[in-house]
């Protein structure tokens, strides 16, 4: 039973890590190559908002995993 919970928590941790990493890549690539690609300020702002949303989602996932681990 504990092994199943540990596996689930590990999988959730990997998902949170991937979400945060992809958000970071979106942010860096979007702001770095956006002007070179001729993106408008509106598109650059949208890229920033998507990245911030990903970071927030990853943080919420990480906090939920941490709180679930404290209860067990």
Q: Cα separation of 51 and 22, whole Å?
A: 8
- The reported pLDDT for the residue numbered 13 is 93
Residue 72's pLDDT band (boundaries 50, 70, 90)? low
- 10: which 2 tokens? 């590990």
- 13: which 2 tokens? 């941790």
**What are 8-54's pLDDT values in tens digits?**
899 999 999 999 999 999 999 998 999 999 999 999 999 999 999 99
Residue 3 pLDDT greater than 90, yes or no = no
Global pTM reads: 0.84
Residue 6's pLDDT band (boundaries 50, 70, 90)? confident
Domain of residue 11: give its range.
Answer: 2-71
Distances (CA, A) of 53 to 20, 23, 28, 57, 72: 10, 8, 15, 6, 29
How many domains is the chain partitioned into structurally? 1
């Amino acid at each position: 039973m504990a092994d199943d919970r540990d596996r689930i928590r590990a999988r959730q941790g990997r998902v949170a890590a991937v979400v945060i990493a992809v958000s970071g890549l979106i942010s860096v690539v979007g702001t770095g190559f956006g002007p070179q690609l001729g993106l408008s300020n509106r598109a650059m702002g949208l890229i920033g908002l998507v990245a911030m949303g990903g970071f927030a989602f990853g943080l919420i996932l990480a906090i939920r995993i941490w709180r679930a681990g404290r209860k067990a």
